[in-house]
Amino acid sequence: MNQSKRHSANRLMALVALWLLPAVAWGQLIPVSGTVTDTEGEPLIGVSVVANGTGNGVATDLDGNYTIQANPQGTIRFSYIGYDAQTINVEGRNTINVTMGANSQMLDEVVVVGYGTMKKSDLTGAVSSIGSKDIKDVPVASVGQAIQGKVAGVQIIDAAKPGDNVSIKIRGLGSINNCDPLVVIDGVPTDLGLNSLNPQDIERLDVLKDASATAIYGSRGANGVVMITTRKGAAGKAKLSFSGNWAVQTKSKTMDLLDASGYASLNNDMMTAVGHSTNPEWADPSTLGKGTDWVDELLRTGVMQNYNISYSGGNDDNHYYFSAGFLDQSGIVKGVNYQRFTFQSNNDAKVLKWLKLSNNLLFSTDVKRSGSYSMSDAMKALPTFAVKDENGQWTGPEGNSEWYGSVRNPVGVNETYVGRTRGYNFLANITGDIIFTDWLQFRSTFGYDAKFWFYDSFSPAYDWKPTPVEESSEYQSDNKTFTYLWDNYFTFDKTFGGKHYVNVMTGTSAQWNHASWLSAQMNGFIFNNVHQMDNGEEMYSIGGSQNEWSLMSYMARANYTFDERYLLTATIRRDGSSRFGSKHRWGTFPSVSAAWRISKESFFPQDQAINDLKLRVGYGKTGSQASVSNYSYLPSYTTMVYPFGTNDKNQSALIAQTLANPYIHWEEIEQANLGVDMSLLNSRITFSLDGYIKNTNDMLVKASVPITSGFEDTSTTYSNAGKVRNLGWELSAHSVNLQGELGWETDLVVTYNKNKIKDLNSDTPFYINQINNSYVTMLAKDYPINVFYGYVTDGIFQNQAEVDAHAVQSGASPGDIRFKDLNNDGVINEQDRTVLGNPNPTWLFSLNNRFTWRGFELQIYLQGVAGNKIFNSTRIDMEGMAAAYNQYAKTSNRWTGEGTSNSMPRAVWGDPNGNNRVSDRWVEDGSYLRIKNITLAYNLPGKLLRHIGMEHARVCFSCENVATFTSYSGFDPEVGVNGIDYSSFPASRTYNLGLSFNF
Q: pLDDT averaged over the chain?
A: 89
Q: Are 566 and 616 in contact (CB under 8 A)?
A: no
Contacts of 274 (CB under 8 A, 6+ apart): 908, 909, 910, 912
Sign of the four-CA dihedral 258, 262, 264, 265: negative
The pairing of strands 610-624 and 636-643 is unpaired
The backbone region for 973, taken as left when phi is positive above 0, alpha when psi lies in -120 to 50, beta otherwise, is alpha
CB distance 57 to 79 below 8 Å = no
DSSP class per residue in 71-85: -TTSEEEEEETTEEE
Each residue's pLDDT tens digit, 671-719: 999 999 999 988 889 999 999 999 999 998 877 766 666 665 545 677 8
Q: Is the pLDDT of residue 82 over 70?
A: no
Note the pLDDT of residue 236: 81
Residue 445: phi and psi, rounded to 5, are: -125, 130
Q: Contact, 757 vs 176, CB < 8 A?
A: yes
DSSP H helical ranges for 169-293: 211-214, 260-273
Contact 457, 418 (CB under 8 A): yes
pLDDT of residue 103: 55
| pLDDT in the model for residue 11 | 43
Residue 648 above 80 pLDDT?
no
CB distance 339 to 366 below 8 Å: yes
Q: If we measure between CA atoms, which residue out of 624, 613, 626, 628 comes closest to residue 671? A: 624
Are 621 and 668 a contacting pair, CB within 8 Å? yes
Q: Phi and psi (nearest 5°) for 488? A: -140, 125
Half-sphere exposure at residue 788, Cβ-oriented, CA atoms within 13 angstroms: 29
Is the per-residue pLDDT at 13 higher than 60?
no
The pLDDT of residue 25 is above 50? no
Burial 104-128 (b: 16+ CB within 10 A, else e): eebebebbbbbbbebeebbbbbbbb
Q: Each residue of 129-177: pLDDT tens digit?
A: 988 888 888 888 888 888 999 999 999 998 888 989 999 999 999 999 9
pLDDT number for residue 716: 66
Average pLDDT over residues 347-371: 94
CB 167 within 8 A of CB 154: no
pLDDT digits (tens, 9 = 90+) for 474-526: 999 999 999 999 999 999 999 998 889 999 999 999 999 999 999 999 999 88
Pairing of strands 843-853, 856-866: antiparallel
Q: What is the DSSP string of 150-195?
A: -STTEEEE---STTPPPEEEESS---SS--PPEEEETTEEE---GG
Q: Is the distance from CB of 224 to CB of 137 less than 8 angstroms?
A: no
List phi, psi (to 5°) of 48: -80, 125
Mean pLDDT throughout 304-330?
94
d(CA 576, CA 554): 9
Which pLDDT score, from 0 to 100, does residue 106 have? 40
Q: Are strands 636-643 and 650-658 parallel, antiparallel or unpaired?
A: antiparallel
Q: Do residues 445 and 486 touch, judged by C-beta distance below 8 A? A: yes
Are residues 774 and 917 in contact, defined by beta-carbon separation less than 8 angstroms? yes
Most confident of 53-67, 69-83, 542-556: 542-556
pLDDT digits (tens, 9 = 90+) for 173-196: 999 999 999 999 999 999 999 999
949: pLDDT confidence band, cut at 50, 70 and 90? confident
